[in-house]
Structure 1
Amino acid sequence: MLIQFSVTNYKSFRDKATLSLVASNYDKKVREADNVAAFEDFSFRLLKSAVMYGPNASGKSKFFEAFNFVRHYVRDSATDFTAGDKIPVEPFLLDETSNNEPSEFEVIFLHNGLRYRYGFELTEEKVLSEWLYEKATKEIELFYRDEQFITTHPKKFKKGGVIAKQGFVRDNQLFLSRAVQFNDEISESLYSSLSKLRTLSGLDEKGFQGYTMSLLDKADYKQKILKLLEAADLDIEDIEVEKLDTNNLPTDLPKSLKEFIKKESLDNEKVFVSDVLTKRWKYNNKEEKVGHTHFSMDDMESSGTKKFFALTGPIIDTLENGNTLFVDELDSKLHPNLVEKIVSLFNSKSLNPHNAQLIFNTHNTNLLDSGLLRRDQIWFVEKDSCGSSELHSLSDFKKIRKNEALESNYLRGKYGAIPYLEFFNSFTSKFLEYENEG
């Protein structure tokens, strides 16, 4: 489970911003059994979900991009970066100094009953520092890197120590990623854990629809996907994947693409999908069921149906395996009531026994008064006068009554993180002047 994520000097975040999933004691009696996972071996409890609110261009998506950068850089730095390659990190650009300063990222998480703290500091040119700590009762340093000088724990990180001494890590690579290539057991285990912290863009369901389609080949997953579609009141009886006939490809496909598809099919046994079909009931004029028909997912289903179908795979997989799922713009294209039901899957002791986590941003303010969320699960992102994003929790506001109308108070600006729209008044008057002059 994710405990905490911090970012400094990345895109719209100049100063350190920290999202904590540690449950507060102030809300201890609010939905404790459903929304919180307790760990007897540690002195903290962890939240199963968190939501971010804020105006457009406040930095909500940039925070998610920061986490996605960590995930991809850990995955790719050892394999995709050759000597001299620039690191695709983007510092804060709206002041005179941050562009020349390093960006910093740190993730704290639970893995196999232990607490790990991993982070790194870098520029476009190189990794300046990198660290990994393990904690059962007392925090132990597994390794610390100062540019190309790396110290490792003599017993717990032996193989990593050999890699460090041999100089097998380039200045634009992460030591953790490089250690995975040399089969260091701790690094491999943590790499696997970090890869399970997934990020999705709710604005582009095509980016994860393929994952859901791959799960349809597994009977148990398919049944759960169909049940979730049924629960969403989409009137879909079945889903069928129409596979591309590689021996009868469309004549208008470019020759190079045809050759690629045939080669991948033969050499790597890849399956190419031409469409996803939804199966629906047909009715006569007496409203009696008389058979079925099929709709093309791409051409005939609504954008909301397409998005929800694409989400079903990651949602079910995350719940089944106790992983963490970040979704940027979860509410895009979806009805507010459906978004509420998605959140309720995670904030449930019975439906989420493996303590999976959902972290998302939204403009759906109905959730604030839904009774599904505790105050420590609600976060706000807003920019200061210099364009730097700041992150704070509703639990930071100490004088909030337990029965407070959160939605109306948020919309009127009590907690900040709403757009400043006073200029609309002057725009309206000016616009009317132009219209009258015309």
Structure 2
Amino acid sequence: MLIHFFAQNFRSLNNINFSMETGERLQQREDTNTFAHATPSVLKSIMFFGANGAGKTNIIDALRTMQQIITHPLAQAANFSTTYTPFLFGTEMTDKPTTFSLSFVAQNVAYFYDLAYTRERITSESLSAQINGTNVLYFVRELDRFANVPNSLKSVAAVTRPNELFLHRAYTAGDRHAANVVQWFANDLIFFTPTAELSKSMLTLLEDPQAKAKVRSFLQAADIKVQDLVVYKLENGERRLSVSHNIYAPSGSVAGMRPIPFSAESKGTQKMIMMALTVLTAQQARDRKVIVFDGFSDFLHEEVSGALLRLFNSAENRNQFILTTHTLSLLNAELRADQIFFVEKDFQGESQVYSLFDIKDVPNTQGFDRISNLYKFGTFGAIPDIDRDQMRQIL
């Protein structure tokens, strides 16, 4: 489970953080929208709203970049410039470290890991763990100086290069806590990327008749008229997916089925199939996954995206979801105040992130039926400032 994320000096993010811990004393929809009995109590989903260019995607990319650094250390060490993109709209942060911090639960242990790096090297790194109810500082690194390193890893610290993670060195040396952290980033943090090609694991899942039946039922429940999903092989051995639809005789009766290549389907149907496979794969796993959707409702009808969001917050769901969207109707999709985040840029180009729960003196939003109207009116900020007269003059 993800608890808290912090990013500094990354693109438009000079200093942002968000938490998936439940808001203090907020008990609304506790049995559905939260893991109330977990330690700590966390939300099943959060959703970021904001104007185009506010920085929502940069938040997702910061989390993804942290994952890439941890899970692909050799590529990172060879070329830090691919992931080092400091704050873009100021001069004072140029060449200063980018910092990422994340707290999460893996293998029933709460971890806090942070790292800072420049174009050339890792500048700092630390790992804390809650072991037997006590917070333990497992290791600290400042440039090439190490402290609090377990005896079993002191020889590893001595040979860790400036441009490589000590975390990954410890992982390859067989350290249990380092392995928990690396494997969580590799296996439990999932980024949904809608593309015209399905992954090998998704195609394998569709070859399971029971899994395919669940995906088909999921699509039909969303009013997407798919009759079958067939995985087939090309001459070169590559596997592809075709989507079968009914064809009809002039009388209106079903005359058979016609397969259509997955890549020829509408963007909405492609996305729904991939969403169904992503969620199903995560639900079948033993450990809770964190699934990240940037542009969650893109290409989806608002009724479908609303139904999906309610599914993510259902009592049956065991996973966490981090979502970004422009679909304002989702503000009324039975969300708690601590699940709603806003993103906006200030006059210096810096993205600001804040929760509805943290806004003081907000008008009554009981039932959430007024939130979208209050947002459109500008009560919460994070809306585009549109000059319609200037737009008309340009045309």
The reply to whether residue 146 of structure 1 matches residue 110 of structure 2 is: no
Measure, in 1, the Cα distance between the counterparts of 2:208 and 2:147.
45
CA contact (8 A) 1:237 1:280 kept: yes
CA separation of 1:207/1:420 partners in 2, compared to 1, >3 Å: closer, same or farther? farther
CA contact (8 A) 2:342 2:382 kept: yes
Measure, in 2, the Cα distance between the counterparts of 1:334 and 1:208.
19
Equivalent residue letter for 1:116: Y
Q: What fraction of aligned residue pairs are identical, expressed as a percent?
A: 26
Equivalent residue letter for 2:259: H
Deviations 1:201-243 (A, max 9, x none): 4xx4236555422321333332322221222211112101121
CA contact (8 A) 1:143 1:153 kept: yes
Measure, in 1, the Cα distance between the counterparts of 2:178 and 2:394.
61
The reply to whether residue 374 of structure 1 matches residue 333 of structure 2 is: no
Shift of residue 23 of structure 1? 0.5
CA contact (8 A) 1:52 1:360 kept: yes
- 1:283 corresponding residue in structure 2: 248
1:1-400 matched pairs, under 5 angstroms: 1-14=1-14, 16-28=15-27, 30-39=28-37, 42=39, 44-77=40-73, 79-81=74-76, 86=81, 88-136=83-131, 137-154=133-150, 158-165=151-158, 167=159, 169-195=160-186, 196-201=188-193, 204-206=194-196, 210-246=200-236, 271-273=237-239, 275-299=240-264, 301-321=265-285, 322-350=288-316, 352=317, 355-371=318-334, 373-400=335-362
Measure, in 2, the Cα distance between the counterparts of 1:281 and 1:87.
47
CA contact (8 A) 2:103 2:112 kept: yes
Which stretch has the larger CA shift, 108-117 or 315-324?
315-324
> Aligned to 1:191, what secondary structure does the other structure show?
helix
Measure, in 2, the Cα distance between the counterparts of 1:419 and 1:207.
34
Shift of residue 39 of structure 1? 3.5
Shift of residue 245 of structure 1? 1.5
Measure, in 2, the Cα distance between the counterparts of 1:26 and 1:219.
45
CA contact (8 A) 2:207 2:231 kept: no
CA separation of 1:225/1:83 partners in 2, compared to 1, >3 Å: closer, same or farther? closer
CA separation of 1:411/1:72 partners in 2, compared to 1, >3 Å: closer, same or farther? same
Shift of residue 26 of structure 1? 4.1
Measure, in 1, the Cα distance between the counterparts of 2:274 and 2:381.
33
Measure, in 2, the Cα distance between the counterparts of 1:84 and 1:302.
38
Equivalent residue letter for 2:241: V
Equivalent residue letter for 1:307: K
Deviations 1:96-119 (A, max 9, x none): 211121111001001122210001
CA contact (8 A) 2:113 2:127 kept: yes
> Aligned to 1:206, what secondary structure does the other structure show?
coil
Shift of residue 88 of structure 1? 2.3
Measure, in 1, the Cα distance between the counterparts of 2:308 and 2:196.
19
Measure, in 2, the Cα distance between the counterparts of 1:381 and 1:272.
42
> Aligned to 2:226, what secondary structure does the other structure show?
coil
CA separation of 1:431/1:143 partners in 2, compared to 1, >3 Å: closer, same or farther? closer
TM superposition score normalised by structure 1 = 0.84
Deviations 1:32-90 (A, max 9, x none): 100010236x3x3100000000000000000000000000110111x325568646210
Measure, in 2, the Cα distance between the counterparts of 1:391 and 1:81.
28
Structure 1: gaps (5+ residues):
247-270, 433-438
Measure, in 1, the Cα distance between the counterparts of 2:380 and 2:77.
46
CA contact (8 A) 1:109 1:117 kept: yes
CA separation of 1:389/1:207 partners in 2, compared to 1, >3 Å: closer, same or farther? farther
CA contact (8 A) 1:279 1:294 kept: yes
TM superposition score normalised by structure 2 = 0.92
- 1:257 corresponding residue in structure 2: none
CA contact (8 A) 1:21 1:46 kept: yes
- 1:408 corresponding residue in structure 2: 373
CA separation of 1:359/1:84 partners in 2, compared to 1, >3 Å: closer, same or farther? closer
Measure, in 2, the Cα distance between the counterparts of 1:84 and 1:368.
41
CA contact (8 A) 2:46 2:340 kept: yes
CA separation of 1:224/1:122 partners in 2, compared to 1, >3 Å: closer, same or farther? same
RMSD over equivalenced CA pairs, Å: 2.0
Measure, in 2, the Cα distance between the counterparts of 1:224 and 1:112.
29
Equivalent residue letter for 2:212: K
Deviations 1:245-272 (A, max 9, x none): 12xxxxxxxxxxxxxxxxxxxxxxxx51
Shift of residue 391 of structure 1? 0.3
CA contact (8 A) 1:209 1:309 kept: no
Deviations 1:142-197 (A, max 9, x none): 1111112222443xxx44333113x1x22111111222222222212221112211
Measure, in 2, the Cα distance between the counterparts of 1:124 and 1:85.
5
CA contact (8 A) 1:101 1:123 kept: yes
CA separation of 1:57/1:118 partners in 2, compared to 1, >3 Å: closer, same or farther? same
